[in-house]
Amino acid sequence: MTSEFTLFTNSIKDYFTKPMLKLAFLPFVFTIIIFYALFFIVADASLDSLQNSTIQIQHTQTQINNGVADVTTTNETYQGGSAIMEFLLKNSITSWLIGFFVYTVGTIAVMMLSVFIALIIIGFLTPNILNIIIQRHYPSIELNEHPSLIDSIITPIKHIFVMLILFIILIPLYFIPIVNIIAFNLPFYYFFHKLLNYDVNSNIKMTQDELFKIKFLNANQIRLRTLLLYFISMIPFVAMFATVFYIIYLGHGQLSALQNLRNEKVN
Cβ 239 vs Cβ 34: under 8 Å:
no
DSSP letter, residue 173: G
Does 39 score more than 80 pLDDT?
no
Q: Which of 26-35, 139-148, 187-196 has the highest mean pLDDT?
A: 187-196
The pLDDT of residue 80 is: 46
CB 250 within 8 A of CB 36: no
Query: Can you tell me the mean pLDDT for 169-175?
Result: 88
Instruction: Pinpoint the alpha helices (H) of 52-170.
Output: 81-90, 92-100, 106-137, 149-169
Write b or e for each residue in 195-221: b if 16 or more Cβ atoms lie within 10 A of its Cβ, otherwise e. Answer: bbbbbbbbbbebeeebeebbeeebeee
Half-sphere exposure of 66 (CA within 13 A, CB side): 0
User: Strand, coil or helix: what is 68?
Assistant: strand
Q: Mean pLDDT score of the chain, rounded to an integer? A: 79
Model-level pTM? Answer: 0.75
Average pLDDT value for residue range 22-39: 75
Tens digit of each residue's pLDDT (9 = 90 or more) over 66-102: 555 565 666 555 444 445 445 444 555 555 555 555 5
Q: Considering the chain, what percentage of its residues have pLDDT values greater than 70?
A: 70
What is the CB-side half-sphere exposure of residue 81 using CA atoms within 13 A? 9
* Distance in angstroms (rounded) separating the CA atoms of residues 220 and 198: 16
Tens digits of residue pLDDT in 234-262: 887 777 788 899 999 999 999 999 999 99
Q: Would you state the torsion angle of the CA atoms of residues 13, 15, 17, 22, taken in this order, to the nearest 10 degrees?
A: -170
Residue 224 and residue 253 in contact, taking contact as beta carbons nearer than 8 Å: no
What pLDDT score does 94 carry? Answer: 52
Residue 170 sits at φ, ψ, to 5 deg, of: -90, 5
